[in-house]
Structure 1
Amino acid sequence: MNNFLPIVYFRNQFIPFEDAKISIATHALHYGTGAFGGLRGIIDPQNPQQVLLFRLDNHCQRLSNSAKFLHYDLPADKIKNIIVEFVKKNNIDKSFYIRPFVYTSDLGLAPRLHNIEKEFFVYGLELGDYLSPDGVTCRISSWYRQEDRSLPLRGKISGAYITSSLAKTEAVESGFDEALLMNSQGKICEASGMNVFLVRNGQLITPGFDQDVLEGITRDSILTLAKDLGIPTIERSVDKSELFIADEVFLSGTAAKITPVKRIENYQLPESKPITEKLRDKLIAITENRDPNYQDWVYIIPN
């Protein structure tokens, strides 16, 4: 059962979670005309009187950009101020996840983005590990990732996640933990809600933005860390067969963090994952505000 945080931001005010309700006729519910973000917060292990948010500014800017696709002007600074106040009001004492959401809130029938009301809300829930930190198994999905020419993939548009849902359920019901999607060109794109990385001959590889992948904030963090650590990196197209013979494969995302992949289809991957572990240890240290070189990635809120 989800343990939701008691206070939410809804219709321009902070109210109890159970009082935040929308109509069954809400436009976004029918047409997927919403966009969301997601960021983690933890209690500072070194100072329990502080909450730490990872790359808050980046998350707020990405949601502001996503809102633009809905013809909604929602400044990143406004999102940030509301999220900070949201955290303060909830008196949080466990690791948690924040879900900000913009959507067409009107009760109109026609699918459109013009002449229609939009709103913004924020809620949260306690969240530990989304995927097993010991590693997951993956299958190649029969569902393909959408193309940017038909859907704005630079934004986290809610309607796009029907494909993720289909792929995830297909994977789980066929005995795997996660799905890997290909794009319309037959290249590996991303997982159901995560970016994908592989390591071959000491080089870190991930599909580039021309492969219809989400502009992941954890993805960007990993690429920056890898370069700072002297790990050769490249963004390019990835063939399915490359995954089967890779030295390491891992998934990345706000919820998943860095999750190693143990097996893809019937191909077992090597147990040794030195680059994955190096990057994961580094990222954990940063999110816990233990690395002075990346303190600008951590936003501190007195609790």
Structure 2
Amino acid sequence: MHNFLPIAYFRNQFVPFTDANISIATHALHYGTAAFGGLRGIPDPQNPQQALLFRLDRHCQRLSNSARFLLFDLSADKIQSIIVDFVKKNQPTSSFYIRPLVYTSDLGISPRLHNIEKDFFVYGLELGDYLSPEGINCRISSWYRQEDRSLPLRGKISGAYITSSLAKTEAVESGFDEAILMNSQGKVCEASGMNIFIVRNGQLITPGYEQDILEGITRDSVLTLARDLGIPTVERSVDKSELFIADEVFLCGTAAKITPVKRIENYSFSTKRPITEKLREKLTAITENRDPQYQDWVYTIPL
């Protein structure tokens, strides 16, 4: 059961969430011609009269870029302004998640992006831990991540998430918490909605952009933090067999934050995760605005 925030932004105005409805004939519903974002916010632990959003500028820029794939000109500045007003109007009192989405809003049946209306909405919901912070069990999915030559994978295109949905359900219904997808070349790609990192011999390793991954904002944050902490990092292709002999494995994303992996298939990992925990503690401190070195990653909104 979701607790949705009471106000949504819909058709260029703020309305009650329950009034923000679309037609069953909406073009994007039929063809996946939409792109979405997702960002977390919390009431400031030091000052409940304000809310904190993590890397708001990067999230808005990525959604603006995603909109370009739909031939929709929507500036990052406009997205940010609407999201800031959205938070002020909702006055959240607990950890929350914001979902902005751009979509083809016409009531048509021809799959196209030209000569068709587009629109933009924002809603939100209260959200705690998306995955268990104690760690999760993963399986290798039988479904493969799409290729960038067939889908613009650097955007969060809604139609692409059918593969994530298939993989997630396959994992859960076979007794696991999450799925790890390979790409078309048989290399490790990402989880159903998260990027993946492994640790081997003190080095942090993650698949590079050429492996058909999403350009994750939490992924980028983790890489920056690791380098600043003096942890050796490398972005490269990762073989499936490397997963099984890694010292540590974790997933990261806006909803998942940093989530350790306890087991992949029948291979278990140590409960000692020094690099994972160091990065998780650092990221938590930043999102709560307790780390002055990264204050520019946190956007403060007075409530």
TM-score after normalising by structure 2 = 1.00
Aligned-pair identity (%): 84
Aligned to 1:188: 188
Aligned to 1:32: 32
> Structure 1 CA distance, aligned partners of 2:167 and 2:55?
28
Aligned to 2:287: 287
Paired residue total: 303
Aligned to 2:89: 89
Deviation at 1:50, TM superposition (A): 1.0
Aligned to 2:157: 157
Deviations 1:209-262 (A, max 9, x none): 000000000000000000000000000000000000100000000000000000
Deviations 1:116-150 (A, max 9, x none): 00000000000000000000000000000000000
* Aligned-residue RMSD, C-alpha: 0.3
Matched, 1:254 2:269: no
Matched, 1:54 2:54: yes
Matched, 1:214 2:214: yes
Moved over 6 A (4+): none
> Structure 1 CA distance, aligned partners of 2:50 and 2:265?
43
**Letter of the structure 1 residue corresponding to residue 114 of structure 2:** H
- Written as runs of structure 1 = structure 2, the 5 A alignment for 1:107-118 is 107-118=107-118
Aligned to 1:21: 21
> Structure 2 CA distance, aligned partners of 1:271 and 1:17?
42
**Letter of the structure 2 residue corresponding to residue 76 of structure 1:** A
- Written as runs of structure 1 = structure 2, the 5 A alignment for 1:165-176 is 165-176=165-176
> Structure 2 CA distance, aligned partners of 1:17 and 1:209?
36
Aligned to 2:239: 239
> Structure 1 CA distance, aligned partners of 2:50 and 2:134?
28
> Structure 2 CA distance, aligned partners of 1:228 and 1:43?
27
Matched position secondary structure for 2:48: coil
Matched position secondary structure for 1:251: strand
Matched position secondary structure for 2:87: helix
Deviation at 1:3, TM superposition (A): 0.2
Matched, 1:178 2:178: yes
TM-score after normalising by structure 1 = 1.00
Gaps of 5+ in 2: none
Deviation at 1:270, TM superposition (A): 1.2
Matched, 1:101 2:101: yes
> Structure 1 CA distance, aligned partners of 2:179 and 2:98?
24
